[in-house]
Amino acid sequence: APAYAKTSVVTAARMLDVESGRMLERPVVVVTDGRITSVTTGGATAPAAPADAERIDLGDVTILPGLIDMHVHLTSNPKYGGYTGLRFTDTFWVAQGAGNAARTLRAGFTTVRNVGSDGYADVGLKQAIEEGWIEGPRIVPSAHALGATGGHCDETYLPPSFDRKSPAMGDSPEELRKRVREQRKYGAEVIKVCATGGVFSRNTAPGVQQLREEELRAVAEEAEFWRLPTAAHAHGADGIKAAIRAGIDTIEHVSFIDAEGIALAKQRGTYLGFDVYNTDYTLAEGEKNGVLPENIEKERQVGTQQRENFRAAARAGARMIYSTDAGIYPHGDNARQFAVMVRFGLQPMDAIRSATINAARAMAREGDVGSIAVGRYGDMVAVAGDPTRDVAVLERPVAVIKGGERVR
Ligand code: ARG
């Protein structure tokens, strides 16, 4: 090994194998220069570690792969709802985003997909984290979300004289192909597109489709051409089915999915990310935070149905990913969604898979993240007790390790 190799040896009482669902005894995980080089369990002899290896003995805990949240907005902050955020300058959002990144990592989420931010802020946060200036998870950035002019992902809060529009709007297949290339040029590693209206925009209806299937297909094809995964914001049943047929990899929110949509997702292998926690936060705190009454009203209409449809999708065995929309609720509370998923019918082990192996597969990163296995990054979270019996223990990680470094 080169002289600069840094090795850590992580030991614990138990390790959850997220592929098999089995609990393994006495894991020894060796991480060299950030990646896992050996995993042994049950007292098997681990390869001898160099004398200067760092020993991270976690004791009576269960380790599992570092968690993945497939849908966050690190630059958003729920405290500033409606128009209350307009008092801040543009760079305020990325500055406070640095704190949000640290909170997310310390909550056990070692990888996040940031699916929408202004000014390539998520690309900047990723670079600052990789350079070691700030603490945070691995970020898969989308940069700006694509969408229709006047749609959910455009600027919808200001009158025409302000002349504000998002730079990633497109109103034909050709325009949207160009938007894919522009986002990729400046750092997007996933393409996010808004297929329907949404809750937190003005003059949009969550149930109504906003891009035609041919436009969504142009986005999916162009992204695939450049080897990028895709994610669609879609609440309404028609927009959801159009996005699935168009070949989008993950459908997010999925609130009004119908039986046909569930069957289609299963048949096409499309992953579904239901953000079933944030309803609780918005209904409890939204008004205080300045969220407009019309948006709270939309949340009421969406939330209840979304949870019932999540139950139907879980029962049907749809492929699930863990998408929380953190930024709608405070960053760092990402793990609260596990308990809601279980309450609405998902098996605990499947909830854990949604935030580990399924998430990694849905964005073609299973060589890097999503399981504790040789070759993957040395990303782990440790909890007291057994998360397959009580997923709420994931809300209180006792240790977080990223690339073999203990960060909590
Ligand atoms: N960003 C999403 C939107 O504005 C959030 C939806 C939150 N509500 C929910 N029940 N999932 O549409």
The CATH number of whichever domain residue 383 belongs to comes to 2.30.40.10
Q: Helical H runs in 208-292?
A: 213-225, 237-246, 259-268, 278-285
Residue 223 one-letter amino acid: A
Identify whether residues 20 and 101 lie together within a single domain. Answer: no
Identify whether residues 246 and 167 lie together within a single domain. Answer: yes
Query: Edge-to-edge, what's the strand order for the sheet holding 35-40?
Result: 35-40, 28-32, 7-11, 54-57
Q: Positive or negative, the Cα torsion across 361, 249, 125, 322?
A: negative
329, 278 contact by CB (below 8 A): yes
Domain end, chosen from 329, 345, 362, is at 362
User: Phi and psi (nearest 5°) for 309?
Assistant: -75, -30
pLDDT of residue 46: 87
Range 308-319 average pLDDT: 98
pLDDT of residue 351: 98
Please indicate whether residue 236, judged by its CB atom, sits closer than 6 Å to ligand 1.
no
Domain-embedded: residue 202: yes
The CATH number of whichever domain residue 269 belongs to comes to 3.20.20.140
Beta strand 271-273 with 250-253: parallel, antiparallel or unpaired?
Answer: parallel
Identify whether residues 38 and 185 lie together within a single domain. Answer: no
267: left (phi over 0), alpha (psi -120 to 50) or beta: alpha
Instruction: Report the residue among 279, 302, 310, 336 best suited for mutation to probe ligand 1: largest number of ligand atoms under 8 A from its CB.
Output: 302
Identify whether residues 119 and 100 lie together within a single domain. Answer: yes
Identify whether residues 332 and 393 lie together within a single domain. Answer: no
Please indicate whether residue 207, judged by its CB atom, sits closer than 6 Å to ligand 1.
no
Instruction: Report the residue among 71, 192, 199 best suited for mutation to probe ligand 1: largest number of ligand atoms under 8 A from its CB.
Output: 199
Identify whether residues 338 and 402 lie together within a single domain. Answer: no
Domain-embedded: residue 1: no
pLDDT of residue 160: 97
The tally of domains found in the chain comes to: 2
Instruction: Provide, rounded to the nearest whole percent, the portion of the chain with pLDDT above 70.
Output: 99
Domain-embedded: residue 2: no
The answer to whether residue 3 scores a pLDDT higher than 90 is no
Domain-embedded: residue 386: yes
The answer to whether residue 4 scores a pLDDT higher than 80 is no
Query: Edge-to-edge, what's the strand order for the sheet holding 399-402?
Result: 23-25, 14-16, 62-65, 380-383, 399-402, 405-406
pLDDT of residue 43: 87
Identify whether residues 250 and 339 lie together within a single domain. Answer: yes
215, 170 contact by CB (below 8 A): yes
Beta strand 109-114 with 230-234: parallel, antiparallel or unpaired?
Answer: unpaired
Identify whether residues 267 and 396 lie together within a single domain. Answer: no
Range 55-59 average pLDDT: 98
Domain-embedded: residue 392: yes
pLDDT of residue 309: 98
Q: What is the span of the domain harbouring residue 23? A: 7-65+371-406
- pLDDT grade for 171, boundaries at 50, 70 and 90: very high
Is the ipTM of this structure higher than 0.95?
Answer: yes
Identify whether residues 167 and 83 lie together within a single domain. Answer: yes
Please indicate whether residue 333, judged by its CB atom, sits closer than 6 Å to ligand 1.
no
Instruction: Report the residue among 256, 275, 341 best suited for mutation to probe ligand 1: largest number of ligand atoms under 8 A from its CB.
Output: 275
Identify whether residues 156 and 94 lie together within a single domain. Answer: yes
Identify whether residues 54 and 171 lie together within a single domain. Answer: no
CA–centroid distance, 85 to ligand 1, in Å, is: 18
Q: Angle at which helices 121-130 and 92-106 pack, to 10 degrees?
A: 50
Note the pLDDT tens digit of each residue in 112-149. Answer: 999 999 999 999 999 999 999 999 999 999 999 999 99
The answer to whether residue 1 scores a pLDDT higher than 70 is no
Domain-embedded: residue 222: yes
Note the pLDDT tens digit of each residue in 340-397. Answer: 999 999 999 999 999 999 999 999 999 999 999 999 999 999 999 999 999 999 999 9
The answer to whether residue 298 scores a pLDDT higher than 80 is yes
Identify whether residues 82 and 121 lie together within a single domain. Answer: yes
* Mean pLDDT over each residue of the chain, to the nearest integer: 97
Domain-embedded: residue 241: yes
Residue nearest to atom 11 of ligand 1 (CA): 275
Please indicate whether residue 331, judged by its CB atom, sits closer than 6 Å to ligand 1.
no
The answer to whether residue 221 scores a pLDDT higher than 90 is yes
pLDDT of residue 2: 54
215, 172 contact by CB (below 8 A): yes
CA distances from 137 to 92, 232, 300 (A): 20, 22, 32
The answer to whether residue 401 scores a pLDDT higher than 60 is yes
